[in-house]
Each structure stands twice: as C-alpha cells, then as structure tokens.
Structure 1
Amino acid sequence: MRTCLALDLKNDPVLIEQYEHLHRPGHMWPEIPQGIREGGIVDMQIYRIGNHLFMIIETPDNLTVSEAFQRIGKLLRQAEWATFIGQFQQRLPEAQPGEHWAEMKAVFSLQEHITE
C-alpha cells in the first residue's frame, strides 16, 4: 500500500541544508533506517521543493502507516530521532490532531483510467 504524507521544514536555508545532510547516506543514525524496516515499511522516500517535504511510504497491504509508525516508535532511538529532527520541521495547518506528517488524499491514479 502506498501512502503520501506532507510536512514543511522551517523556512531557513541553513536548517534545510542541515536536514538534507542528515538524510544523506552515512549521516543518519544507523538505527533509524533499520527501525523503519523493522516497523514493516518496505520503502520510504522524501522529496523536497522549497521548504515543503513529501514522503512516499510503501507498506504491505495488511499494515497501515499508522500501525507501522506505532511499531517504529517503540524501537531503539526512534523517539529520540523524531524529537531531534523535529527541530527542523513544522506541521502543516491541515494536519489532523496528533498527526505530525499530514496524510495526503489521492486525487488521480493513471491505473484507474487505463481500460486495457
């Protein structure tokens, strides 16, 4: 299952560069990508334009992103990372209560329009 989420970075070029640096190979705490996998996430990608972030997450069909995040949050250093990396981020006004990354609504899928 694919889920897309959105979040903003604080609009500060220095913080944005630090955020990107921390997400490059070799700069993220090794427990973080390991924990993401242990939580059940198959793939995760983050894209940026300006100070806007878009995260694409792939999970097995029997696992929601919310369930995966709950699992991940209980693993070594994950909560510490979330607090640390939170200094660079700001929630979107559209985020629901208790939601850090706001879940995006799918509005188009090419697959649904192909009738072969």
Structure 2
Amino acid sequence: MNRYCLTLDLKDDADLIREYERFHANVWPEIKDSIRSSGIESMQIYRFLNRLCMIMDVNDNFSFELKSAADADNPKVQEWENLMWKFQQPVPGSKAGEKWVLMNKIFEL
C-alpha cells in the first residue's frame, strides 16, 4: 500500500467553499466507483481556509497515468471535474492546467 498527499486551492469565497463542501458531503456514486476502481483504497480531503489536502492510500494496481486516462474516458468524471473547477484554482507553482498537485513527503515517524 502506498500513500500520496496532494494539494489544491479553492477560490477564496465563503459561499463557494460551502457549496464545494456540500457537494463533497454527497459525492456522486459514479465518482466514488471511479475512485475505487482505480486502486484507491482510501481517500480523505482536509481543508484549512481555502487550501485543500487530499490523502490517498492506494493498492499496487494504482497509477496516476492509468487514473488520468480512465477519467478522460469517463463522461461522468469529466462532468464532475468541470463542475468542481468552478470552486477550484491552481496552487502557486503548479503547471498550466494542473489541478491537484502531488506533495513531497519530507518527514515520517
């Protein structure tokens, strides 16, 4: 099992943040199925102000490349991603078009 941590910012707007959290309280079943079928065993998203942190525990079948390809071919995932982009903005230093950015682990106990 591997663990990854990614980050993304929300637009700094209290109403948009509340709406984003409402969507994540009731994530569409097709999105949950897509996450599970990619090899992600566990996922959590945490928020501080407008900064998000996603922690994913994945099995040996998971790869970011395969997940991206499957998402690109899934109309429901594309609908979700387009909807979520209304609330999201790239973190400073991210590449053009990049949403969630992989963080580097610098410490473990």
Above 0.5 in TM-score?
Answer: yes
For the residue of structure 2 that corresponds to 1:56, the secondary structure is strand
**Cα displacement (A) at 1:71:** 2.2
Larger Rg: 1
Instruction: Report the Cα offset of residue 62 of structure 1.
Output: 4.5
| Structure 1 position 46, deviation (Å) | 0.4
Amino acid at match of 2:80: W
The residue aligned with 1:13 is 14
Q: Which structure 1 residue ranges, 5 or more long, are not aligned? A: 111-116
Q: CA RMSD in A?
A: 1.6
| Residue of structure 1 equivalent to 2:66 | 67
CA contact 1:22–1:28 (8 Å) conserved in 2: yes
User: Comparing both structures, which one devotes a greater share of its residues to strand?
Assistant: 2
1:90 matched to which residue of 2? 89
- Distance in 2 separating the partners of 1:74 and 1:7: 23
Cα deviation, residue 2, structure 1? 0.7
**1:34-92: CA deviations, max 9, x gaps?**
11111221111100000000001111135223432332332350011000111000011
After superposing on structure 2, the runs of 4+ consecutive aligned residues of structure 1 that deviate more than 4 Å are none
- Of stretches 71-80 and 49-58 in structure 1, the one that deviates more from structure 2 is 71-80
Mapping for residues 1-116 of structure 1, pairs under 5 Å: 1-24=2-25, 27-110=26-109
Once the 2 structures are TM-superposed, how far is the Cα of residue 97 of structure 1 from its aligned partner? 4.2
Q: TM-score, normalised by structure 1?
A: 0.83
In structure 2, the gaps of 5 or more residues are: none
8 Å contact from structure 2 (residues 38, 62) kept in 1: no
Q: Kindly, what percent of the aligned residue pairs are identical?
A: 41
SS of alignment partner, residue 71 of structure 2 = helix
Name the CA distance, whole Å, in 2 between partners of 1:56 and 1:66. 18
Asked if the contact 1:94–1:102 (Cα under 8 Å) also holds between the matched residues in 2, the reply is no
The letter for the 1-side match of 2:39 is: G
TM-score, normalization by structure 2: 0.88
For residues 87 and 20 of structure 1, the distance between their equivalents in structure 2, rounded to whole angstroms, comes to 13
Q: What is the match of residue 114 of structure 1?
A: none
